[in-house]
């Protein structure tokens, strides 16, 4: 008998968290349907305005944000929503005892939609004690997450989540996410590195040496091949299943990194660690970083422990240049 996401999470974590995960899954089904027919419905392309990060919003960014927000705001257990597409957190003042803050990137990689490349939804769930300030609860280190998940909209649509007891993958089938792999493990090392090498000239020179070491095998003892889609979810999903490392270093254009800590790096780092991998910003563990504001950015090195450890050692062993 197939096990659904709600059944799986309910059995392991109780109704409260299961309800939040299920609401996210219901929204993901709606987003997947919109993506499938986007070209026919005329909802591809730019929406005509920028989000708080100064990035051009796509029409489907807006649709996905509205869909996910609508699904979650109906839960009395949700105290606040923090979205990449909203300037400020959405607070529900009438829920002083609501235990969860939901933080999300509704449609990661949306600039790839026009060329039909995988995109995703990324979600972090934080706990909040009764009466605590909701914004402060959202700005906890990633180690305090209750759950992290992502949806990969690809040839099949998969939902991967952890709530601190392993990583589990579900495949969309007839409108329901059904368990396909329980207790996913990331290989201890892998054959691939993933990086936008077009930006290497704008990064610290040590990153070029890291890439050279991955290519020729001097960094880990094994040679690595390059695999880069340019959609974070697609690149991370491959890294989770096949092993290796994904790197997004700081550049002269984005000296603090480009990926967002709360709703991109944190949930995927939680998943990576629960699957046996690791994640760092080059100086410290991602899940130990204390965010100052909701849209803070970070460099990211995430993947198999062998590669992440080797890259981190090279970065911390090199003087800033």
For residue 283, what is the domain's CATH number? 3.40.190.80
235-248 residue pLDDT tens: 999 999 999 999 99
Q: Which token pair is 111?
A: 């600039």
What distances in angstroms separate CA 262 from CA 35, 41, 145, 288, one per listed residue?
25, 32, 10, 12
Instruction: Indicate whether 151 and 246 sit together in one domain.
Output: no
Q: Are 83 and 260 in contact (CB under 8 A)?
A: no
Count of structural domains within the chain:
2
Q: SS in 3 state form for 102-153?
A: EEEEEEECHHHHHHCCCEEEEEEEEECCCCCCHHHHHCCCHHHEEEEEEEEE
> pLDDT of the chain along its 321 residues, tens only?
799 999 999 999 988 999 999 999 999 999 999 998 876 556 655 655 655 565 667 788 899 999 999 999 999 999 999 999 999 999 998 998 999 999 999 999 888 878 888 999 999 999 999 888 999 999 999 999 999 999 999 999 999 999 999 999 999 999 999 999 999 999 999 999 999 999 999 999 999 999 999 999 999 999 999 999 999 999 999 999 999 999 999 999 999 999 999 999 999 999 999 999 999 999 999 999 999 999 999 999 999 999 999 999 999 885 443
Three-state SS for 7?
A: helix
Instruction: Indicate whether 169 and 284 sit together in one domain.
Output: no
Query: Domain for residue 186, yes or no?
Result: no
Instruction: Indicate whether 93 and 234 sit together in one domain.
Output: no
What distances in angstroms separate CA 94 from CA 27, 132, 228, one per listed residue?
23, 13, 45
Alpha-carbon distance 200 to 175, whole Å? 42
Instruction: Indicate whether 231 and 263 sit together in one domain.
Output: yes
Final residue of a structural domain among 155, 181, 207: 181
* pLDDT of 316: 87
Q: Are 244 and 186 in contact (CB under 8 A)?
A: no
Instruction: Indicate whether 173 and 232 sit together in one domain.
Output: no
Instruction: Indicate whether 155 and 77 sit together in one domain.
Output: yes
What b/e sequence results for 50-74 when a residue is b if at least 16 CB atoms lie within 10 Å of its CB, and e otherwise?
Answer: ebeeeeebbbbbbbbbebbbebbee
* pLDDT of 54: 58
Q: Can you say how many angstroms the Cα of residue 169 is from the centroid of all Cα atoms in its chain? A: 15
With residue 246 as reference, give the H or E element that holds it: strand 245-248
What is the span of the domain harbouring residue 163? Answer: 5-181
Instruction: Indicate whether 176 and 196 sit together in one domain.
Output: no
Provide the whole-model pTM: 0.94
Instruction: Indicate whether 37 and 141 sit together in one domain.
Output: yes
Final residue of a structural domain among 146, 181, 216: 181
Query: Domain for residue 253, yes or no?
Result: yes
294-320 residue pLDDT tens: 999 999 999 999 999 999 999 988 544
With residue 233 as reference, give the H or E element that holds it: helix 232-242
Q: Which token pair is 92?
A: 């529900």
Query: Domain for residue 321, yes or no?
Result: no
Instruction: Indicate whether 174 and 210 sit together in one domain.
Output: no
Instruction: Indicate whether 12 and 134 sit together in one domain.
Output: yes
Instruction: Indicate whether 197 and 94 sit together in one domain.
Output: no
Instruction: Indicate whether 155 and 16 sit together in one domain.
Output: yes
């Amino acid at each position: 008998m197939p096990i659904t996401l709600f059944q799986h999470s309910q059995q392991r974590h109780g109704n409260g968290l299961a309800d939040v995960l299920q609401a996210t899954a219901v929204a993901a089904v709606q987003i997947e349907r919109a993506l499938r027919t986007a070209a026919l419905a005329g909802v591809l392309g730019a929406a005509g305005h920028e989000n708080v990060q100064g990035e051009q919003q796509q029409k489907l960014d807006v649709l996905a944000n509205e869909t996910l927000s609508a699904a979650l705001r109906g839960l009395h257990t949700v105290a606040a929503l923090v979205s990449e597409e909203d300037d400020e957190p959405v607070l529900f003042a009438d829920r002083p005892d609501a235990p969860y803050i939901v933080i999300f990137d509704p449609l990661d990689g949306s600039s790839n939609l026009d060329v039909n490349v995988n995109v995703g939804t990324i979600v972090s769930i934080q706990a909040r004690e009764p009466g605590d300030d909701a914004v402060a609860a959202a700005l906890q280190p990633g180690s305090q997450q209750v759950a992290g998940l992502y949806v990969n909209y690809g040839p099949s649509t998969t939902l991967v989540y952890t709530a601190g007891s392993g990583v589990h993958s579900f495949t969309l089938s007839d409108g329901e996410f059904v368990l396909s792999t329980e207790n996913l493990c990331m290989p201890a090392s892998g054959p691939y590195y993933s990086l936008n090498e077009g930006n290497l000239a704008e990064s610290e020179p040590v990153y070029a040496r890291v890439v050279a070491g991955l290519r020729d095998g001097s960094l880990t003892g094994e040679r690595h091949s390059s695999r880069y889609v340019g959609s974070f979810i697609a690149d991370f999903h491959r890294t989770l299943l096949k092993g290796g490392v994904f790197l997004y270093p700081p550049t002269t254009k984005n000296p603090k990194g480009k990926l967002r800590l709360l709703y991109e790096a944190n949930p995927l780092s939680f998943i990576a660690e629960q699957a046996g991998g690791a994640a760092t910003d080059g100086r410290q563990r991602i899940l130990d970083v204390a965010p100052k504001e909701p849209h803070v950015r970070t460099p990211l090195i995430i993947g198999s422990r062998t590669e992440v450890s080797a890259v981190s050692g090279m970065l911390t062993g090199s003087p800033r240049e």
